[in-house]
Amino acid sequence: MNMHVPGTPRAARRARASQDVLPPSMNIAVIGAGYVGLVTGTCLALLGHRVTVVDRDAERIAMLHRGEMPIHETGLAERIAEAEKLDFSTSLPSAVAAADAVFICVGTPPNPVDGHADLTQVHAVARDVAGALEGRTVVITKSTVPVGTGDEVEEIMRAVRPDGDFAVVSNPEFLREGVAIADFMHPDRVVVGTDEIWARDAMAAIYAVITTAGHPLVFTSRRTAELTKYAANCFLALKITYINEIANLCEEVGADVEDVALGIGLDSRIGAQFLKAGPGFGGSCFPKDMLALMKTAQDAGMPLRSVETAVAVNDARKGEMVRKIIRAAGGSVAGKTIGVLGLTFKGGTDDMRSAASLVILPQLIKAGARIRAYDPAGMANAKALLPGVEMAASALDAANGADLALVLTEWSEFRTLDLKRLRRTLRQPVLVDLRNLYEPAAVAAAGLSHIAIGRPGAAFPHHAGISPQDVPGRWPQAMARKARMPADLARA
């Protein structure tokens, strides 16, 4: 591994100010105008390159030409408006023919048969790109793809263009939806996998402004870069799974998972991020990437037990959440209305892929609940995926007359909700907070019973007439007894 860490940010700013390190502007084609492609294309244009983002979805491209956003990503519309050298097209051949570099940013969904990444889109783009290449071109796989996909892409392209002057490079993307622009522009690192020196130089030029600002560029082999992406995502998913299990334990022993997370997260060996207990991870990446890595490892005869266990624990968690909600409703949700706050897999996006709501809400409906939901950005996508869920105009509208308010997504606008108004809106004063958005004291002060994740009282049956005021500042005696150390251990 070869790591290129340029000078300090201050030195970089001085150097840039003197204009002597401005990278050459390159012609770039980005294939796929989804969450990754749009952000990649926009940011590369903001870095000074001439970029054409291509998608086969003509309506998506038409929207972009009209200045409308096909996805919700914070700040993206403004940055697209700022990016002067950015264009959108449905014509892959013309964008690729003009390009020095082509970024493949198409989807790699899980194959429903064995969980491996479905590479149909990547393979098809490889063929189309090969057919359209003109002159020396670096072809970059940014889609998350299993180890060895770069070899396949190269083979496919070579079959079409035996004499083509191209290199296939892996450059996995680590951005998070909701903060994608900041993640692209200020990455913890840029990983580039290729053994071709000229391709390394091209990649260094593409990212020159970013690396000159002090963000590390890590050069590896192509296979190493491909595996690095999966290893990173699976590690983060393991962290979430771990803190969720610790949260369960907190509920049993009367500890507070938020404080445990703070206490361990401040340890620099552990790090504070991805230690937020919740309803289990979802989203467009973690679930599918874990399945794909599991499959790669099994095929290699080197199964990853920790990843397999985390997947099983995370799958089971959704059922645990349903049981928790039913307990909070007094043992049954039949005939009851649940006001749901948040549908997307996380705040800041309209992405519904593998969202917890897609598993939890149908189970509640099956158990007899009526669901009224509000999401700041996800309702348009959610409608088709969640038949039977009524959509509301606001968080308070969703909770209006409901027997229980349920927080499923950590949207920042929910954090500032007036809890006293929420209490007045609800028929029963019960708030199930699966994202630990609210401080227990604030919820209690609003007169609401608070069922959170891994917090004192979280396992307490707050239903049917028992309010937090009945147990001020304490967790129940039964819990205290349960948490007491066994006598032999206490003596040791």
- d(CA 137, CA 80) in angstroms, rounded, equals 25
User: How far apart, in Å, are the Cα atoms of 300 and each of 147, 155, 232, 246?
Assistant: 11, 21, 19, 32
Q: How many residues does the chain have?
A: 492
Q: Which stretch binds ligand NAD (CB under 6 A): 55-63, 268-276, 413-421, 476-484?
A: 55-63
- Binding test (CB under 6 A) with ligand NAD, winner from 52, 108, 425, 436: 108
Q: Which stretch binds ligand NAD (CB under 6 A): 106-114, 186-194, 292-300, 370-378?
A: 106-114
Cβ within 8 Å of residue 197, ≥6 positions away: none
Known catalytic membership, residue 285: yes
- Binding test (CB under 6 A) with ligand NAD, winner from 54, 83, 355, 360: 54
- Binding test (CB under 6 A) with ligand NAD, winner from 28, 33, 304, 430: 33
Q: Which stretch binds ligand NAD (CB under 6 A): 120-128, 130-138, 324-332, 391-399?
A: 120-128
Closest residue to ligand NAD, judged by C-beta, is 34
Q: How far is the CB of 380 from ligand NAD (least distance, A)?
A: 15
Does residue number 40 form part of the binding site for ligand NAD (CB under 6 A)?
no
Q: Which is nearer to ligand NAD, 356 or 453 (CB)?
A: 356
Q: Which stretch binds ligand NAD (CB under 6 A): 8-16, 48-56, 217-225, 322-330?
A: 48-56
- d(CA 272, CA 436) in angstroms, rounded, equals 16
∠ CA 411-272-71, nearest 5°, is 35
Residue whose pair of structure tokens reads 């749009």 in the numeric block: 38
In the shown chain, the binding pattern of residues 372 to 411 toward ligand NAD, with x for contact by CB under 6 A and - for none, equals: ----------------------------------------
In the shown chain, the binding pattern of residues 153 to 192 toward ligand NAD, with x for contact by CB under 6 A and - for none, equals: --------------------x-x-x---------------
- d(CA 85, CA 472) in angstroms, rounded, equals 61
Long-range (24+ apart) CB contacts under 8 A made by 108-112 are 108/143, 108/144, 108/145, 108/288, 108/292, 109/288, 110/287, 110/288, 110/291, 110/292
Q: What are phi and psi of 8, to 5 degrees?
A: -65, 155
With contact defined as beta carbons under 8 Å apart, do 374 and 340 qualify?
yes
With contact defined as beta carbons under 8 Å apart, do 323 and 7 qualify?
no
- Binding test (CB under 6 A) with ligand NAD, winner from 64, 96, 99, 106: 106
Alpha helices (H) along 446-486: 477-483
Q: Which is nearer to ligand NAD, 58 or 197 (CB)?
A: 58
Q: Which is nearer to ligand NAD, 124 or 253 (CB)?
A: 124
**Residues in touch with ligand NAD (CB under 6 A):** 31-37, 54-57, 60, 92, 105-108, 121, 124-125, 143-144, 173, 175, 177, 284-285
Which residues belong to the active site? Answer: 285
